[in-house]
Structure 1
């Protein structure tokens, strides 16, 4: 008789991935360190830095620290997750502007929330369904993430700045900060 086979769940679901509790919201950004997680997609750094600039100028956020993932299509590596969690009070991760990178951007947000850090994941609106599907796969179907108008990669500096300005109200809403 053969031994029973072990089935592996390809979604990565385990007992940790059924927690849909948000990290405590800060209420204010005054003096907080903002982590910016760039997934290496074109214009992700520019979008994140423009948002951070607006948060500092208009809402008193403290230092912004930029981090870069190894690859846009997979969730953040545990070592980088731990570093950002130790060094930052809130996180903004971007930009999901394709199927795999939007899913990974949302997965990153869920991972940071579960690690206790309030997070905003940013995807372009063309990939809302991909991001929503990943939230469900991660056991967090109501995970609130931000969408900006597609495209992002082909925008010039002025257009990226405008996308950032337009995104700030939703960044504040998701972080639980009064505008």
Structure 2
């Protein structure tokens, strides 16, 4: 909703900034360890998302003692995961949510990650590096600016199965970090991490100078 700004001549200048209605929320408390954990895998149907999640899940079982993987697949990359799917995943100790690599799928991927975080479920939300700024801006708009976003190289959909395996191995450490790190430290680390200073606008910069 545009916000009017009083002018000296009695008229009003409308700012396009509007008012942020989402209340700021912290990320969920993280796990002390992945050993014995039940990890949800949220596949948003993007090509290779299933392979990426399966490969990371296998690494977490092999190297970090994860006990069980619970896979859920959306019917498409947008809109949000249905309530019953979120309810299922909220019974897990943590979730890996993949992946955003275009405009709408990034927005809805982050939306799902924010929903799970607000439900108290530590979530590793995966975006490609070409769309992570959009993902973080979406998280800010949804009231969770500290959402930890795991990055993979762009593009993901057109790479081979072998390359997906390599990328899964490369991102596994990020996943472990965002699922087991101290929540306050992660908030500090990830808030505005991917947003360049030049991409930020202050209210004064958005005003028309007349």
For the aligned pair, the TM-score class normalised by the smaller chain equals: 0.7 to 0.9
Structure 1: where are the runs of 5+ without partners?
1-12
Q: Deviations over 1:80-112 (max 9, x none)?
A: 1112112x1110010111111111111111110
Q: Does structure 2 retain, via aligned residues, the 8 Å contact 1:34–1:91?
A: yes
**Per-residue displacement from partner, 1:97-151 (whole Å, max 9, x unpaired)?**
1111111111111110110111000011111122012101101122121110011
In the aligned structure 2, how far is the partner of 1:141 from the partner of 1:90?
Answer: 19
Match of 2:73 among 68, 85, 108: 68
Q: Is the 8 A contact 2:26 2:146 kept in 1?
A: no
Which of structure 1's runs of 4+ aligned residues deviate more than 3 A? none
3-state DSSP of counterpart to 2:37: coil
CA distance in 2, matches of 1:118, 1:142: 12
Partner of 2:160: 156
Number of residues of Structure 1 aligned to a counterpart in Structure 2: 163
The residue number in structure 2 matching 1:168 is 172
State which structure, 1 or 2, has the greater radius of gyration over its C-alpha atoms.
2
Is contact 1:123-1:147 (8 Å) kept?
yes
* Alignment-derived partner of residue 7 in structure 1: none
Give the secondary-structure state (helix, strand or coil) at the position aligned to 1:117: coil
- Mapped partners of 2:48, 2:74: distance in 1: 14
Gaps of 5+ in 2: 1-19, 183-210
**Larger relative contact order (Cα-Cα within 8 Å, sequence gap ≥ 6):** 1
The equivalent residue for 2:35 is: 30
TM-score (norm 2): 0.74
